[in-house]
A and B are shown apart, each in its own frame.
Chain A
Amino acid sequence: MRTVLKPLIVIFACFAAFASRDAHAQAALATFDTPPAAHHTQVKLILSADTAKPGDTIFAGVDLKMEPGWHTYWKNPGAAGMTTEIKWQLPPGVTAGEIQWPLPKKLPPAEVTTYGYEDEVMLIVPLTLATNLSAGPIDLKANVSWLECKEVCIPANQDVEAKLNIGSETKISADSATIESWKKKAPYSSDLSITAWWEKPTNGDLRPLIINFPTRFISVRIDSGDFFPDAYDQFEIQPATETISNLGEIRLRKFVKKFSSDWPKEISGVFLYRVPDYGTNAFEVKFSIADKAPANDTILSTTNPPTALPSQSLWQMLLYAFIGGLILNIMPCVLPVIALKILGFVSEAKSSPRRVRALGGIYAVGVLFSFLVMAAIVIGVKAAGHQAGWGMQFGSPIFIVCLTTLVTLVALNLFGVFEVTLGGRTLDAAGNLAARHGASGAFFNGVLATTLATPCTAPFLAPALGFAFSQSAVTIILIFLTVGLGLASPYVLLSWNPAWLKFLPKPGAWMEKFKIAMGFPMLATVVWLFNIAASSYGKNVLWLSVFLVVVAFAAWIFGEFVQRGRKHKAAAAIITLILLIGGYAFALEKELDWREAMPQTDSTGSLKESADGIDWQRWSPEAVAAARAAGKPVLVDFTADWCLTCQVNKQTSIEISSVRQKIKDINAVALVGDYTHFPDAITTELQRYNRAGVPLVLVYPKNPDATAIVLPAILTPGIVLDALDRAAR
């Protein structure tokens, strides 16, 4: 459904138009009291020394050799199974330490994942000899009990023993090297800086836990990571691990199931990651779990914020919003408006300070009002169940046509073709800029500045807005108003301290030249908007340009003969109206059919931009599935014409020779998803990756079972090349 728009100019009509747019062993029983012969595991005890002196610490190795297909369990058996136990029977003066467990493997099936060992494992135990131990041979005995499983599980136990001579000199045994090699398979004790937090507040007995380990400062390249938790009675850290990110950090999501009492505050286990061409590094870790993500956390704060947010981070987001708004003033899309503002100040500087302040205030009100309208639209769109995003109005062709026309008129106005008489004042002298920058002019400037600012995103603004889009209505309004305050603040400050304006030259003839010069950035904006419109209307966009010429001509007649003419004013006014209505009816309504944008042609051909460019194909879930089924890595770029960050990413880091070559080398498929007109399929895909909008660049590894690598919002060639390299392995 589309709203019929009253043609022309009032920008909120355009906003409204968009808003209303739709937006086991028989054995087991029989061999229950198992004779050793029925085991599928052979156990022996070896020592690192033949002779040791009192005060030494030697190492015992309990070696379990499993028959093919059989496995035994780690200290945390996982979802089923039983840990191997060693019950020592040691002579006085010999103390056994904790078992050093080699790194286990995750064993299938997925629904009952266990941690265990296949083929062989050696459990290492330090044995400390008392200083008062008398010389001579001693017997070291232990009873080892374990559960061995294949298609069936069999509990078993066996006594093992070894002899150690106590003497005056340590003599290592023939087995010492074997023990040493197994010791190396145990995780290192470490001080890894792991942070962890609950992703969400409690909701039942299962709660997602985020474990984060920064890898960007490690010189070697690091691959997939995992966390093998210790076993707990009160809760279970489920074996399934989901990798959220492994670029610059290893971020994992685990689910914790609580059986009783409280959620754990601290957990321990083994953290491991793979270093390509080297192997797996594993570390003993212990870390506390925070109630929420760290305040400076980038991924979570923009994509998946906890629902109950403490006020502290809201304050931070408000600060970001303010700084972001401030920076918006100098972003390219707002720059043309700056010209208007500068003129405004120059012309008003000579007026009374009170009037300057009032105009500064009105400008701020204009900005804030616009942001309030945008907040309302975002809330409305969200309430209607659609995904809202910053700059989303640029996805509406109706909005684009309105804005193109408006900016064209602003340019013509700056060129002096006609004057704007807002607030009912008439102009008699072209040089009298004061009238144009009256109260309504100031308000209009605020609205225009905001409208043009929306396709731009500034540093600090992205986290604040990403945060806002997922929050309650009140928070959205608060954040939006704060961005507005940031945008308006320099001018409000200047208007309250007109003395700071002294750096500006005195008003004079230069102002007229400057004004005309500033018309050109406006024309550049028209070209940019026109280009966006072209993607909606295809070749028919010609009729938009025809309309713009008619509008320009009408503006000239209006300015020359109605505003400045002396005779036939009425006739000139009628001609102006005929031109506008005729131009609108014929060019926009009849030929362009502007309110019904051309449906996107779903061609599957190449979308190559130049002869040697990347051979882009149109994105679809099926295209990704097909490429992955063929065992090819896939690069997906979700982009939009109105998304400046996407364009910058493409120019600097995607459509570049090194990436083109890499894509050819690894035989990757490049898919582009155009989000310019908010197709539902892409909205769904973005939501799957917790994104409020584009850019989103994904790299799917060659291995069809691996998950996609999600690239950060701001790309560098290195990030893209690295991701493609990893995808090709």
Chain B
Amino acid sequence: MKTTFALLAALTLAASAFAVEVGKPAPDFTGTDINGKTVKLSDFKGKIVVLESYNSDCPYDANQYKTGAMQDLQKDSAAKGVVWLLVNSVNPKNFSHRTAEQAKQEIADKKIVADAWIDDSSGAIGHLYEMKTTPHMFVIAKDGTLVYDGAIDNQPDPFHNPRTANNYVRDAVDNLIAGKPIEVSQSKPYGCAVHYAD
């Protein structure tokens, strides 16, 4: 019976799938950043928010950072008043997990521009947003509506030059600001599986 319930629960989740659904309000969450500060999504209402499922050990994510393309996007977004939240859902036993100190060092080394690096080692936010890969990107409009859910760009490999790819997040943010419809509002995220806790 328990399994039946679990199955039904899973099904309900899949069917109602949508806690996260483009066009619907993005589910609120509360997390803690590496400085111990509480980060609540709804506190950013009135601003465009980008969520990034992050693990720079993953070659797909590493490609974005090694080339500096991700940091450029973060800088440009910050200049436009966009809030950028890194969500690291890697479980503490995994090699790619970062302690607060390691994370601070990584931000400095990689020149990451983000409003917060949220320690989601429990996977709560990752599961809530059904973050599947690193990277997996979400763009939330000023009114709290999820407007983009998917890949960082249109080249699903860890070798390409991200600056020549079509960056879906940049497009979504620019179109939001220009008040234009978002061309690609959903895509299949690509990358390494998020290393959730069991």
Interface positions of A (Cβ within 8 A of B)? 24-29, 32, 79-82, 109, 111-112, 114, 147, 149, 151-155, 204-206, 208, 233, 236, 238, 240, 242, 255, 257-260, 621-622, 624-625, 628-629, 688, 704-708
Q: Complex: how many Å from CA A171 to CA B100?
A: 63
Inter-chain contact A153/B58, CB cutoff 8 Å: yes
Cβ–Cβ contact B1 & A628, under 8 A: yes
Q: Closest B-chain residue to A703, C-beta based?
A: B3
Please determine whether A28 and B58 come into contact, CB atoms closer than 8 angstroms. Answer: yes
| CB contact under 8 A between A152 and B7, given known A79-B133, A208-B15 | no
Q: Do A621 and B150 touch across chains, with their CB atoms under 8 A apart?
A: no
Between-chain CB contacts (< 8 Å), 26 pairs: A24-B57, A24-B96, A26-B57, A26-B95, A29-B57, A29-B62, A32-B66, A79-B193, A109-B193, A109-B196, A112-B132, A112-B133, A147-B59, A152-B94, A152-B195, A153-B59, A242-B7, A255-B15, A255-B17, A260-B184, A260-B187, A625-B1, A688-B8, A704-B2, A705-B3, A706-B3
- Chain B residues with CB under 8 A of A705: 3
Q: Of the candidates A80, A621, A625, which one forms a contact with B133 in the assembled complex, judged by CB atoms under 8 Å apart?
A: A80
B56 within 8 A of A: yes
Contacts of A238 in B (CB 8 A): 14
Chain A residue, CB-CB nearest to B14: A255
Task: List, in ascending order, chain A residues with CB within 8 A of B190's CB.
Answer: 80, 82
Which residues of chain B (8-59) have a CB below 8 Å from chain A? 8, 10-11, 14-15, 17-18, 21-22, 55-59
Q: How far is the CA of A636 from the CA of B111 in the complex (A)?
A: 62
Q: Which of A233, A257, A705, A706 has the most CB of B within 10 A?
A: A257
- Across the interface, do B18 and A149 meet the contact criterion of CB distance under 8 Å? no
**Cβ B1 vs Cβ A204 within 8 A:** no
Contact pick for A704, options B3, B18, B57, B150, CB 8 Å: B3
Q: Report how far A257 CA is from B2 CA in the complex, Å.
A: 28
Instruction: Select one of A25, A257, A706 contacting B96, CB under 8 A.
Output: A25
Tally of contact residues, B, Cβ under 8 A: 49
Nearest 8 pairs of A and B residues by beta carbon: A80-B193, A153-B192, A625-B1, A112-B193, A624-B1, A259-B186, A206-B17, A28-B57
- Nearest-CB distance from B71 to chain A (Å)? 15
Whether the Cβ atoms of B57 and A25 lie closer than 8 Å is yes
A111–B14 CA distance with the chains assembled, in angstroms = 11
A625→B95 CA distance, assembly (Å): 38
Cβ of B178 to closest chain A Cβ, rounded Å: 20
The reply to whether B194 and A259 contact each other, CB–CB distance below 8 Å, is: no
Residues of B within 8 A of A112 (CB): 132-133, 193-194, 196
Is the beta-carbon distance between B59 and A204 smaller than 8 angstroms? no
Compute how far the CA of A629 lies from the CA of B10 in the bound complex, rounded to whole angstroms.
Answer: 20
- B151: nearest residue on chain A (CB-CB)? A259
Find chain B residues with CB under 8 A from A29 CB: 56-57, 62, 66
Q: Could you say which of B78-86, B114-122, B153-161, B169-177 contacts chain A?
A: B153-161
A621 and B1 contacting across the interface, CB-CB below 8 Å: yes
Q: Which residues of A contact B101 (CB under 8 A)?
A: none
Contact pick for B188, options A152, A208, A236, A708, CB 8 Å: A236
Given A152-B95, A204-B21, A688-B8, verify A81-B192 contact (CB < 8 Å): yes
Q: Give the distance in Å from the alpha carbon of A205 to the alpha carbon of B198 in the complex.
A: 28
Q: How far is the CA of A29 from the CA of B66 in the complex (A)?
A: 9
Shortest beta-carbon distance, A537 to chain B, in Å?
Answer: 31
> What residues on B are CB-neighbors of A79 within 8 Å?
132-133, 193
**Residues from chain B with Cβ under 8 Å of A32 in the complex:** 59, 62, 66
Report if B164 contacts A (CB, 8 A): no
- State A189–B80 Cα separation when bound (angstroms): 54
Cβ-based interface call for B72 (8 A): no
Contact pick for B132, options A80, A240, A621, A688, CB 8 Å: A80
Q: A28-B58, A80-B191, A152-B94 are in contact. List 6 more A-B contacts (CB 8 A).
A: A79-B132, A149-B192, A152-B195, A153-B60, A259-B150, A259-B187
Query: How long is the Cα–Cα vector from A628 to B3 in the complex, in angstroms?
Result: 9
Q: Bound state CA distance, A402 and B57, in angstroms?
A: 76
Taking a contact as CB atoms closer than 8 A, the residue among B2, B188, B196 that contacts A625 in the complex is B2
**B127: A residues at CB distance < 8 A:** 111
Q: In the bound complex, do residue A707 and residue B132 qualify as a contact, i.e. CB atoms below 8 Å apart?
A: no
Q: How far is the CA of A641 from the CA of B8 in the complex (A)?
A: 30
**A706–B1 Cα gap in the complex (Å)?**
10
Q: Specify which chain B residues have a CB less than 8 angstroms from the CB of A624 in the assembled complex.
A: 1
Q: Which residues of B contact A233 (CB under 8 A)?
A: 188
